[in-house]
Amino acid sequence: MALIDLANPTRFLSFARPAIPIAGVIAAGLLAVGIYLAFFVAPEDYQQGATVRILYIHVPSAWLGMACYVVMTLSALGTLVWKHPLADVSQKAAAPIGAAFTLLCLVTGALWGRPMWGTYWVWDARLTSTLVLLLIYLGLIALWRTVEDPGRAGRAAAVLTLVGAVNIPIIKFSVDWWNTLHQPTSVIRLGGPTIHSSILTPLLIMAVGATLMFVALHLAAMRNEILRRRVRTLRILAAQRGATA
């Protein structure tokens, strides 16, 4: 099934009906296995002790915080360039999920930073750019709520999403460009990961589980948004009928 086949909201709903529980169940299974491995099987770090286990929540939420913005950027292109009818639905549905993952990443990072670096917060390049990402998410959510007409709000938010996309490469490469407190890239890098497989395997399982959780949440939020718009249209029609009668 191509992406264009889902342009019809009804067809999308019939696709989402089985897809949401399937993705959700697989996500729950993977996360359960991942959490078991992370907390009971994976070894403690010889320097950081048990606090290293925060990694298994922190890193997937950081990845998804950014991935969610990438999804929104593609949706924004879909809204402005291809006028895909569900693109702005996808964009609106993704913003709160991305904000939640980014917040989770910042909070777990702060909790991890306290014992490791001796402080909850430093004005390090990666931390700061992630905070900016959260601000952009919150601004976009506020923009969605300010404009009443969903189509118009979608196009305005799409423009802002594309402008804000500049921040994503800044976050990704911040640890390479500015050599500050946050550790450099260790999983996705040239020459393979620098993490031992006993830690890497549960991390990847958690990452895949969290991604599927994102897929399930995103599809469910999109379904809610489509239904909400239908209710809105019905209400407007009813009001118009009431006005003419």
Partner 1 sequence: MTALIALVVRDLRLAVRVGGGAFVGVLFFLAVVVVMPFAIGPDLNLLRRIGPAILWVGALLASLLALDRLFAQDQEDGTLDLLLTARTPLELVAAAKGLAHWIATGLPLVLAAPVLSLLLNLEPLAIGAVVLTLLVGTPALTFIGLVGAALAVTLRRGGLLVAVLILPLSIPILIFGISASNAAVTGGLPFGAPFTILCALSLGSLVLGPIAAGAAIRAGLD
Integer Cα distance of 116 and 140 in angstroms: 33
**Contacting residue, 80, 107, 116, 181, with partner 1 by CB under 8 A:** 80
**Contacting residue, 50, 142, 227, 234, with partner 1 by CB under 8 A:** 142
Q: Does 156 bind partner 1 (CB under 8 A)?
A: yes
* Shortest reach from residue 127's CB to partner 1, in Å: 13
Count of chain residues binding partner 1 (CB under 8 A): 23
Point out which span in 45-53, 97-105, 139-147, 189-197 binds partner 1 (CB under 8 A): 139-147
Close Cβ partners of 194 (under 8 Å, ≥ 6 residues apart): 186
**Contacting residue, 77, 122, 150, 155, with partner 1 by CB under 8 A:** 155
CB atoms < 10 A from the CB of 188, how many? 9
* Shortest reach from residue 104's CB to partner 1, in Å: 19
Q: Under a CB-based contact definition with an 8 Å cutoff, are residues 63 and 207 in contact?
A: yes
Report how far apart the first and last C-alpha atoms of the chain are (Å, whole number): 45
Q: Does 166 bind partner 1 (CB under 8 A)?
A: yes
Task: Name the residue among 106, 104, 102, 167 with its Cα closest to residue 141.
Answer: 102
**Contacting residue, 132, 187, 195, 200, with partner 1 by CB under 8 A:** 132
Q: Does 136 bind partner 1 (CB under 8 A)?
A: yes
Give the residue with the Cβ less far from partner 1, 49 or 169: 169
* Shortest reach from residue 110's CB to partner 1, in Å: 19
Integer Cα distance of 8 and 16 in angstroms: 12
What are the contacts of 239-245 at 24+ separation with CB within 8 A? none
Mutual orientation of helices 197-244 and 55-80 as an angle, nearest 10°?
40
The overall longest dimension of the chain from CA atoms, in Å, is 77
Q: Does 122 bind partner 1 (CB under 8 A)?
A: no
* Shortest reach from residue 217's CB to partner 1, in Å: 24
User: What stretches of the chain show up as alpha helix (H) in DSSP?
Assistant: 9-36, 55-80, 87-117, 125-146, 150-164, 167-177, 197-244
**Contacting residue, 146, 186, 194, 197, with partner 1 by CB under 8 A:** 146
Q: Using CB under 8 A as the criterion, which residues of the chain lie in contact with partner 1 when the complex forms?
A: 80, 128, 132, 135-136, 139-140, 142-143, 146-147, 152, 155-156, 158-160, 162-164, 166-167, 170
